[in-house]
Amino acid sequence: MRAILIHEFGGLGQLKLAELPQPRPAEGEVLVRVKAAGVNPVDWKILNGRLKERIPHQFPLVLGWDMAGVVEEVGYSAQRFQVGDQVFAYCRRPVVQHGSYAEWMTLPESYLAHKPNNLSFEEAAAVPLAALTAYQSIFVAANLQANETLMVLGASGGVGSFAVQLAKAQGAKVIALASEKNHEYLKTLEADITIDYTQGDFRESLRAVAPDGVDVVFDCVGAETLLKGYDCVKMGGRLVSILDPEGNAECIAAGKISYRYVFVQPHVPQLAHIRQWIEADKVKVHLNAVYPLAEAAKALEQISRFHTRGKIVLQM
């Protein structure tokens, strides 16, 4: 089978399109013929070795944590799926090695969910990591409730786009922070208010529409934007980031808000809930670009700019 792998950390030059043996499912596993794989900023970080101290890994390492495909073989004792079932998954394992940038992969059946019926394989592959990140951040870490107000920093990216839609599906009000060129896109996702971070201090724009601040700020940007986000949370509110594990203790203490960091975990019941919202047309998938597997370097170069609207996908 063809796969995109690396033998050491580094830049795009480390990527190799290689032929590997087709895997076989072990007990409790299924073999999936991968139709499409999602491309995420974390893939770029893994390629460059930025997470090597935090996540166990083994070379040769096939990149990719998102996939959609078809079950082709079922291992002993695996009973949830049958051959021919269309599935999708967030497939990060405890040791990063056998990723989804490959034509075939095996996974424990506990990682898999049935693919939304109304999505293509390419669209479905764009969902798991980003949508689960948004779900676990705003619903689990922040406990966002209907009628509360959520502000999304970096709302037009893959995770931010899902956060806007999931919050709206939950009945919350959403304020989306993004450049002006993405405001029409965010309005199609039903964001209630859009703020252009390139026009002055966005904290002032936020105070004009929410003088007391918002219930929850969800940070998908980090750095200075995150620091400004503290000032946007109302007293007793919550701030969640997917980029800064530590947060700013001084800001947290001074603002009397709660702070949580989220690093997404596989969670099939949550993914199934997201699937229900997708099939109910409450959550949509925006594909920015689809590349063939052999052009994974182009996809990763694009994702490395961290200004992608929606999602990038590899097609097998």
pLDDT lower than 70: segments of the chain: none
| Local structure of 106: helix, strand or coil | strand
Tokens encoding 157: 């990216």
Cα–Cα distances (Å) from 115 to 84, 135, 239, in that order, read 12, 17, 31
Peptide bond into 60 cis (omega under 30): yes
Query: What domains, with CATH codes, occur in the chain?
Result: 2-127+285-315 (3.90.180.10), 130-261 (3.40.50.720)
Tokens encoding 289: 């670009």
Residue partners of 277: CB distance under 8 A and separation at least 6:
165, 166, 169, 283
Rounded CA gap, 252 and 258, in Å? Answer: 7
Note the pLDDT of residue 235. 93
Rounded CA gap, 83 and 74, in Å? Answer: 7
**Adjacent-strand bridge partners of 240:** 218, 260
Note the pLDDT of residue 118. 98
Backbone angles phi, psi at 45, to 5 degrees: -65, -40
Report percent pLDDT > 70 for the chain: 100
- Residues 166 and 277: beta-carbon distance below 8 Å: yes
Rounded CA gap, 2 and 19, in Å? Answer: 5
Q: Which of 258, 251, 192, 197 is nearest to 225 (CA)?
A: 197
Tokens encoding 229: 């986000």
190-200 confidence digits (pLDDT tens): 999 999 999 99
Note the pLDDT of residue 307. 75
Note the pLDDT of residue 250. 79
Q: Which of 107, 30, 105 is nearest to 62 (CA)?
A: 105
28-48 confidence digits (pLDDT tens): 999 999 999 999 999 999 999
Which pTM value belongs to this model? 0.97
